[in-house]
């Protein structure tokens, strides 16, 4: 019979919070990020466990998206103003703008 099974030993598991536990495993020692002593589900504390900086990356992306939206909005306003200037005014619009200028100058 071939001896193909790995050795089963008592494994020492160390959590990042400092908690040390022993389990049966084929690996002699392990390191974990969360255990039952520090996991938010078991402790009832609200905390963000972010080892890969995913939260920071998400907030950075959302801030950039908001900045791009604001820039696009201002560009659209500028385009609208340019388009309004480029179209010729009708006689009615010319008369209304003259009336407004006269009323503004008389109010001063």
Tens-digit pLDDT profile for residues 40-72:
777 777 766 676 788 889 999 999 999 999 999
* Domain covering 7-47 assigned CATH 4.10.80.400 in the classification: yes
Q: Is the pLDDT of residue 108 over 70?
A: no
Cα gap 75→69, rounded to integer Å: 10
More confident residue, 34 or 86: 34
CB-neighbour burial class of residue 39 (10 A; exposed 0-12, middle 13-18, buried 19+): middle
Starting at the edge strand found earlier in the chain, the sheet holding 20-25 runs 20-25, 9-15, 29-32
| Domain-wise residue ranges, the chain | 7-47, 50-91
């Amino acid at each position: 019979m071939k001896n193909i099974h790995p050795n089963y030993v008592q494994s020492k598991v160390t959590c990042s919070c400092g908690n040390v536990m022993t389990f049966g495993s084929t690996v002699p020692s392990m390191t974990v990020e969360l255990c039952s002593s520090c996991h938010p589900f078991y402790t009832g504390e609200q905390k963000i466990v972010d080892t890969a900086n995913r939260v920071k990356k998400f907030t950075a992306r959302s801030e950039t998206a908001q900045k791009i939206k604001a820039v696009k909005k201002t560009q659209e306003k500028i385009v609208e103003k340019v388009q309004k200037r480029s179209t010729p005014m009708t006689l009615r619009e010319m008369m209304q703008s003259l009336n407004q200028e006269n009323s503004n100058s008389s109010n001063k």
